[in-house]
């Protein structure tokens, strides 16, 4: 565990980041999210389809499942511009006439979607009722009422309802941090600090982006990433929200929008704090300095997923501090296992990528934090 220069590799990554601002309005031009990595592909073991893509996360969702042994068979996207961008990227995918064509295709086992957030749970219910497994972009569910219905249908059908928490599953540094924690590198985990800053102006935002009924609110949306990591690193299987707050400081032309949020969490394996915002300055050069800090009894570690503002090139910086030293770990060769694991789970009916209980608990806590959040004094509500 020592620092290794990744200059050549990361110069290429930096070029991708620099080009994102110009390309983001056309999702098909985005080669991957900043925190996504390409790895070797397995031979196809299942066929999957895509229904709806209102967020460019769908691209690294497709890449992950393809790496894991999935073959993209069909796509249905309502919006012509988004459909054209997707088919330019994946020209071999059959363009379905409607959603039903994919749902009723018995050769397709798995459906992926990054449709508008409040439409993801209803779509997932239809997918499960057609005997297929489902991966939604986060937030995969936007209300507690949706969650209750999804839980019921999932229990009835025994299909997989997975949510792609990409800040963990598609972050090499976070994957490596998980391995270190499991190996006892920092002792017993007692606390996590999750920071999820984002940049509003990096892309041209659609109308639904500003509507909390559509995206679920900042704690439900971005916060679901952080709750997932809190549960994962602390090993918590139960939890509750201690406190939560939201605000709209700078986007007053969209009065329902939330550009700041925070929550405190308590689980049976530790405690956590989460802070989220839409204030990343353009001068940073990436969409957000997202971080997870994991405190243990014998040390701590930090993952800076997109950038090291101290000057190291590229994304995915992992630091670990213990009684012996402070180290920077190169995560460039770390495998991203989610795609392989979720394909395994679909084929074998297992829970290796993420347990269904964990998936739903992360969502439940984020939704409860959103529901009980108070507006910060001075912010419009």
pLDDT at 40: 57
Q: CA 244 → CA 264, 365, 366, 378, distances in Å?
A: 6, 11, 10, 16
> Which domain does 122 fall in, by range?
23-164
Q: Domain holding 65: CATH number? A: 3.40.50.720
Q: Would strands 317-322 and 326-330 be described as parallel, antiparallel, or unpaired?
A: antiparallel
Total structural domains within the chain: 2
Question: In sequence order, what are the beta bridge partners of 328?
Answer: 319
Contact of 344 with 354, CB cutoff 8 Å: no
51 contact partners, CB below 8 Å, separation of at least 6: 75, 76, 77, 99, 102, 103, 111, 112, 113, 115, 123, 127
- Domain check: are 56 and 201 in the same one? no
**Phi, psi dihedrals of residue 288, rounded to the nearest 5°:** 175, 140
Are residues 123 and 215 located together in one domain of the fold?
no
In a domain, 11, yes or no: no
Position 31 in a domain? yes
Same domain, yes or no: 111 and 31: yes
Angle at 236 (CA atoms; ends 231, 239), nearest 5 degrees: 90
- The three-class DSSP label of residue 34 is coil
Tokens for 12? 């290429």
Please give the full DSSP string across 53-94, using - where no structure is assigned: ESSTHHHHHHHHHHHTTEEEEEEE-SSHHHHHHHHHH-TTSE
DSSP character string of 341-370: HHHHHHHHT--SS--HHHHHHHHHHHHHHH
Residue at 198 is within a domain? yes
**Residue 342 domain flag:** no
pTM over 0.85: yes
Per-residue pLDDT tens, the chain, 381 aa: give them: 333 333 333 333 333 333 333 333 233 322 223 333 444 566 789 999 999 999 999 999 999 999 999 999 999 999 999 999 999 999 999 999 999 999 999 999 999 999 999 999 999 999 999 999 999 999 999 999 999 999 999 999 999 999 999 999 999 999 999 999 999 999 999 999 999 999 987 567 899 999 999 999 999 999 999 999 999 999 999 999 999 999 999 999 998 999 999 999 999 999 999 999 999 998 888 888 999 999 999 999 999 998 888 888 888 999 999 999 999 998 988 999 999 999 999 999 999 999 999 999 999 999 999 999 999 966 555
199 and 326 in a single domain? The answer is yes
In this structure, are 126 and 70 located in the same domain? yes
């Amino acid at each position: 565990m020592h620092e290794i220069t990744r200059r050549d590799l990361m110069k290429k990554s930096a070029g991708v980041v620099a080009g994102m601002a110009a390309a983001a309005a056309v999702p098909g031009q985005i080669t991957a999210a900043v925190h996504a990595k390409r790895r070797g592909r397995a031979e196809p073991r299942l066929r999957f389809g895509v229904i709806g893509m209102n967020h460019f996360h769908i691209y690294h969702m497709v890449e992950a499942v393809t790496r894991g042994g999935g073959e993209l068979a069909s796509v249905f996207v309502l919006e012509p511009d988004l459909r054209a961008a997707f088919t330019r990227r994946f020209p071999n995918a059959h363009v379905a006439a409607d959603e039903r064509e994919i749902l009723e295709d018995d050769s397709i086992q798995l459906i992926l979607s990054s449709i508008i957030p409040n439409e993801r749970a209803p779509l997932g219910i239809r997918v499960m009722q057609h005997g297929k497994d489902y991966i939604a972009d986060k937030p995969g569910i936007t209300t507690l009422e949706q969650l209750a219905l999804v839980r019921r249908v999932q229990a009835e059908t025994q299909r997989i309802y997975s949510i792609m928490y990409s800040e963990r599953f598609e972050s090499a540094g976070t994957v490596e941090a998980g391995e270190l924690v499991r190996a006892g590198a920092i002792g017993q985990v007692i606390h996590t600090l999750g920071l999820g800053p984002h940049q509003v102006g990096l892309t041209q935002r659609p109308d639904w982006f500003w509507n909390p009924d559509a995206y679920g609110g900042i704690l439900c949306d971005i916060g679901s990433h952080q709750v997932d990591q809190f549960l994962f690193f602390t090993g918590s299987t139960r939890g509750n929200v201690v406190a939560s707050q939201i605000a709209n400081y700078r986007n007053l032309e969209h009065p329902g929008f939330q550009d700041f949020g925070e929550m405190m969490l308590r689980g049976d394996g530790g405690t956590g704090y989460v802070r989220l915002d839409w204030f990343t300055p353009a001068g940073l050069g990436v969409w957000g300095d997202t971080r997870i800090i994991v405190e243990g009894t014998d040390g701590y570690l930090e993952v800076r997923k997109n950038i090291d503002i101290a000057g190291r090139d590229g994304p995915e910086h992992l630091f670990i501090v213990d009684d012996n030293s402070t180290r920077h770990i190169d995560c460039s060769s770390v495998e991203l296992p989610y795609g392989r694991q979720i394909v395994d789970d679909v084929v074998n009916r297992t829970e290796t990528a993420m347990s269904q209980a964990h998936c739903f608990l992360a969502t439940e806590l984020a939704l409860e934090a959103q529901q009980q959040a108070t507006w910060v004094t001075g912010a419009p509500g």
